[in-house]
């Protein structure tokens, strides 16, 4: 595998500034994340990942220790220059004001990792402040080398995640496009458990009650023409395509990798199938859209297993839906 396909993001910065949140956001984008990795082990860790076929790697690196800081420049060169080509390398440095870091450590009641390194260790908040100031001093040169410096002083964890997604997500060309599925289904068999959006098309006239269409699936041109020829179907499609055209880019911008749009009718054989196909055609293939007909053959398979069985009956509450 060529190293030119490999993307490595190093996440570092001040303790309490949000490194874990940033790594979780990168993980949601498909990066293989390794946290608290000693600096000197980073080149070999990347090489092992590449040999295993992993091409998107994020490293949460602790460079506060003096011995690691001196070797950081050489480590970066080793990471970037692979055996067969140059890798894409980005350094994200997370910063925050002393006041916000003190508040965060106070809320978690955890000591600062470098508090014990101070020659004149003092108790309580001042000990944390000593650690913050010492860490800031040690990381000055690394902050200057960062590709992205993110000040999290006024950012919530959600806003920091959104910032990372904006830098490395699909909108920045740094992640695969969101995969969208349109799934037709029958309510009598239950809605898909992974559905993000569910549309009910049982208000449309049912081809099941048209003798020449009853045994045909919704993918058949005759059934499709019947369903899509209904005035209500055309209006529904127009409004739904407008809605989805608006929300799909928003979902992708937020870093969603998969989106499932479920379209249901009673048995999942006619109306939902035809509408799902029409939705996918109208939305195009940007981002890529897959159409799945979960229940289109379900009723047919049941009748084949018991040829003498009567056709499926509908609940009286559904009328001719």
Report mean pLDDT in 10-residue bins for the chain, 321 residues.
72 88 90 87 90 90 62 83 78 90 75 55 58 82 87 89 83 68 94 92 95 93 96 96 92 78 95 96 83 85 45 36 35
pLDDT at site 176:
61
Copy the structure tokens of residue 32.
């293989």
pLDDT at site 57:
93
User: How far, rounded to the nearest angstrom, does the alpha carbon of residue 47 sit from its chain's CA centroid?
Assistant: 25
Q: Check if the beta carbon of residue 192 is closer than 8 Å to that of residue 304.
A: no
Handedness of CA 81, 82, 84, 87 (dihedral sign): negative
pLDDT at site 209:
94
Report the distance separating Cα 270 and Cα 214, nearest Å: 9
The superfamily in CATH containing domain 3-172 is P-loop containing nucleotide triphosphate hydrolases (3.40.50.300)
pLDDT at site 319:
36
Handedness of CA 48, 50, 56, 61 (dihedral sign): positive
Report the distance separating Cα 157 and Cα 159, nearest Å: 5
Cα-based angle 132, 134, 135 (whole degrees, multiple of 5): 65
């Amino acid at each position: 595998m060529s190293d030119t396909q490999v993307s490595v993001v190093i996440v570092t910065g001040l303790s309490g500034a949000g490194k874990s949140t940033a790594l979780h956001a990168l993980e949601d984008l498909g990066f293989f994340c390794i946290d608290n990795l000693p600096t000197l082990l980073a080149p070999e860790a990347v090489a092992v990942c590449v040999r295993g076929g992993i091409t998107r790697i994020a490293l949460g690196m602790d460079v506060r220790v003096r011995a690691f800081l001196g070797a950081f420049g050489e480590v970066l060169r080793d990471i970037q220059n692979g055996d067969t080509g140059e890798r894409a390398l980005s350094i994200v440095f997370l910063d925050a004001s002393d006041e916000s870091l003190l508040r965060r450590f106070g809320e978690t009641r955890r000591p600062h990792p470098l508090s014990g390194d101070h020659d004149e260790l003092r108790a309580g908040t001042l000990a944390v402040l000593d650690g913050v100031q010492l860490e800031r001093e040690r990381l000055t040169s690394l902050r200057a080398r960062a590709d992205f410096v993110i000040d999290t002083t006024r950012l919530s964890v959600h806003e920091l995640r959104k910032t990372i997604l904006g830098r490395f997500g699909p909108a920045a060309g740094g992640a695969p496009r969101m995969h969208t599925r349109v799934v037709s289904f029958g309510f009598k068999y239950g809605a898909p458990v992974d559905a993000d959006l569910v549309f009910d098309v049982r208000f449309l006239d049912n081809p099941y009650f048209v003798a020449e269409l009853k045994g045909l699936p919704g993918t058949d041109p005759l059934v499709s023409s019947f369903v899509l020829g209904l005035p209500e179907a055309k209006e529904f499609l127009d409004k739904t395509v407008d809605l989805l055209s608006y929300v799909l880019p928003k979902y992708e911008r937020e870093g969603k990798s998969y989106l499932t749009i479920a379209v249901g009718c009673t048995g999942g054989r006619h109306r939902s199938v035809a509408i799902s196909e029409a939705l996918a055609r109208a939305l195009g293939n940007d981002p890529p859209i897959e159409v799945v007909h979960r229940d289109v053959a379900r009723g047919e398979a049941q009748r084949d297993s018991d040829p003498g069985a009567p056709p499926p009956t509908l609940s009286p509450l559904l009328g001719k839906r």
